[in-house]
Amino acid sequence: MEKQEIISKLPYSKPFLFVDDLLHIDENGVVGTYTFDENLDFYKGHFKDNPVTPGVILTEVMAQIGLVCLGMYLMNDTFNSSTAIALTSTEIEFLKPVFPNEKVTVISEKLYFRFGKLKCKVMMKNEKEEVVCSGTMAGIMV
C-alpha cells in the first residue's frame, strides 16, 4: 500500500484527521507529519488566552500516524472498510507544549505485530527537532 493510499483510506475525516503526510513507511516503522491549525475548536478553551494542544490530541496524532497508518501498511491487502481498529494501551510522557500552527513529526518504531496487535515505540518532535512527547502505545486491528 502506498503512502497516499494509506492516508486516503484512514477511517477519519476533518476535523479529526491528524495526518498530513507520511514521509517514510516500511515493515519496521513510520514517519509522518501533522500541522495544528490555529482554528481547531479545542484551542478556544484550552487554556484561555494561551492555547496549548491537549495531551489527548497529541496522543491521538501519535496513534493515527504511529499505529493506524503502520498497521494498515502491515496488513496490506487484508485491511478494508470492515477492519476494526482499537487503541489498547498507551504510556506517554509529555515533555514540551505544542502550540497552534506548530508542525510535528511522529516517528514510530514497531516493537511487535502479531495476532492483529501492534505495539510501537513512538516519539513526537517539533520543528526544532525537540522531543515533545514519547512512549509506547498498542492497538489491535481485526
Residues with a known catalytic role: 46
CA distances from 67 to 5, 44, 76, 90, 109 (A): 16, 28, 14, 11, 9
Element (H, E) at 88: strand 85-94
Residue 137 near residue 91 (C-beta atoms within 8 A): yes
> Which of 70, 59, 52 lies closest to 7 in space, CA to CA?
70
Residue 88 near residue 117 (C-beta atoms within 8 A): yes
Question: What's CA 138's distance to the chain center, in Å?
Answer: 12
Residue 65 near residue 30 (C-beta atoms within 8 A): yes
